Amino acid sequence: IILLTTQYLQFQSTCTPSDADSPTAMSFLLPAAALLEEAMDHSPYNPHLKIAAIGIYSTLHAADRALTIYQDMGVKQIQLDSCSYLILPTLIRGGLYTFAIKLSSSILRLHGATSKDVREYATRSLRNGLLLKAKEMVTFQREKMRPSLQLLYSKGLVMDAAALMIPSDLVSDGSCALKPRVKPSAASLGAEKGYCGGDEDLARAEQLAIDADMHFNAPSIIHEASQTMNCVDESVFSDNRDMTVNNFEILHRNSYLTQKEVVTDSMRSGHMQGLLAHAIM
């Protein structure tokens, strides 16, 4: 009942010609958010309530609250590839670039680790005579994981948001994967990553060119973009996003980037980063 009620309120907010920031739309969206907050207090482990709340807070541009709810869901391992689409665009629109980079980097690490695991376990299977099992693992890696749409999107996002990262956020958050060696000041926007127009840009551009040779590094999107100069075939990428988690939506459906939009935006990021690297070097 709560989900239907909140969807009805979302539907009513879209019936007005004004945008989501208008008082009329707010009069529907804020009660919907309040209902979901109360429902999550009584049912804290219901994923549908949390996904619905993330959608509403995304519409309200409340990225910080949406991130908190997403983190409470405990998304991990392969779910990073299938469910991160729920929050990544919201983090960028909300200016939470550091958290967007952290999440995207987790996706890159997942794919890198999976590639190594597949090689190891496929080799063991072959040694034990389990040829069919080895073939299944290799096929899964080649057709699903390596051409993953979210992997591509994460590469472009990391490259675009790197210069907007605030390293002090990583220190206060206690992150080990991206923690800088020296604690920076809160004002050092982009001091650790990306191009900042300083003397270190040349060294960063050279390192970027080196890192671009590895498929599971974010800079590799520059090579991928250069190989698709004129046309982009989005069908070569595997869309592993699990849209079935939104099956509870009946009266109102949240919109997400299409596969073509994800591929086009990511390739555009690759082209722009390639131009910057060439200009600096």
d(CA 229, CA 48): 41
Widest Cα–Cα separation across the chain: 66
Q: Which of 34, 165, 191 is closest to 98 using CA atoms?
A: 165
Instruction: Convert the pLDDT of each residue in 144-203 to its tens digit.
Output: 999 999 999 999 999 888 878 766 665 555 444 333 334 433 334 444 456 766 777 788
Q: Report which of residues 209 and 199 the model is more confident about.
A: 209
Q: Tell me what pLDDT residue 24 has.
A: 78
d(CA 81, CA 27): 35
49-73: string of b/e by CB count within 10 Å (b at 16+)?
Answer: bbbbbbbbbbbbebbebbbebbeeb
Q: Which two tokens stand for residue 162?
A: 């790197």
Most confident of 12-16, 179-183, 190-194, 254-258: 254-258
Give backbone dihedrals phi and psi of 207, rounded to 5 degrees, phi first.
-65, -35
Residue 35 near residue 6, CB atoms below 8 Å: yes
Q: Tell me what pLDDT residue 230 has.
A: 60
d(CA 104, CA 154): 5
Residues 6+ apart with CB under 8 A from 150: 80, 81, 82, 84, 85, 107, 240, 241
Report the percent of the chain where pLDDT is more than 70: 85
